[in-house]
Amino acid sequence: MAMGSSLRRAIAVLLVVAVSVAVATARSGGGGAVDTVGDSCNAIRDFVEVGFCEAALRSSPGAATADRHGHLLIAADLAAARGTSARDAVAELARGERDAAARDGLEACGILYGASVPALQFMRSYAAERSWEAARSLLWLSGQAGMGCAAALGSPPAAAPAKMDKDNGDFNRLTTMATALLNSVTSS
């Protein structure tokens, strides 16, 4: 028995609507998609401001689809990049500093960042392998540069305070974020 033309038209319309809904749902991430970045940042809200955490993670490609372990790796990468930038900036400031005490403080910052950045990179590698004990063993060293640099500078030279305060603050927040995410991943 042949279908009537109105029945075929109705089936075609239903098929087009179903495909359109499926495409729209896929493009929007699905109706019940979980915001993994928001979830990770809310899990560590006692340690890091949620807005800072979300902005930092969302600045990295792939964060929207990563799980908390992925966010830990991203946070470690971001902290290492900020630490490298701070280390380079402090080295340049030290080269141009004429005051011996200020130069000593800047060089101390360079030494601290020179130790913290590799520690972060090793911690990240161990976390990627899910070698939690090895990753945790580096936490104390990975975050020392931000606070230690601020203390070493004491009253920094006029050109350095704003730049180094921002770099040290960002480094502190990013290493705290990586630490909190590591603790969150290993406690669940």
Report CA 6 to chain centroid distance, whole Å: 57
In-domain check, residue 169: yes
In-domain check, residue 28: no
88, 171 contact by CB (below 8 A) = no
From CA 104, how far away is CA 167, in angstroms rounded? Answer: 18
In-domain check, residue 29: no
In-domain check, residue 4: no
In-domain check, residue 54: yes
Backbone angles phi, psi at 95, to 5 degrees: -60, -35
From CA 5, how far away is CA 7, in angstroms rounded? Answer: 5
Task: Tell me the DSSP string of 86-120.
Answer: HHHHHHHHHHH--SHHHHHHHHHHHHHHHHHHHHH
Q: What pLDDT score was predicted for residue 146?
A: 79
- The pLDDT tens digits along the chain (188 residues) read 455 666 666 565 455 445 455 545 554 444 556 899 999 999 999 999 999 999 999 999 999 999 999 999 999 999 999 999 999 999 998 898 888 888 888 899 999 999 999 999 999 999 999 999 999 999 888 888 877 887 887 755 455 666 777 888 899 999 999 999 999 998 86
In-domain check, residue 52: yes
In-domain check, residue 25: no
From CA 54, how far away is CA 3, in angstroms rounded? Answer: 55
Q: What pLDDT score was predicted for residue 2?
A: 53
In-domain check, residue 121: yes
Looking up residue 119, the CATH number of its domain turns out to be 1.20.140.40
How many domains would you assign to the chain?
1
Q: What pLDDT score was predicted for residue 1?
A: 46
> What residues contact 119, with CB distance under 8 A and at least 6 apart?
138, 141, 142
Structural domain harbouring 168: 34-187
Q: What pLDDT score was predicted for residue 155?
A: 59
Q: What pLDDT score was predicted for residue 169?
A: 87
Q: What pLDDT score was predicted for residue 176?
A: 94
From CA 122, how far away is CA 99, in angstroms rounded? Answer: 35
Q: Which two tokens stand for residue 74?
A: 């991203």
* pTM for the whole structure: 0.78
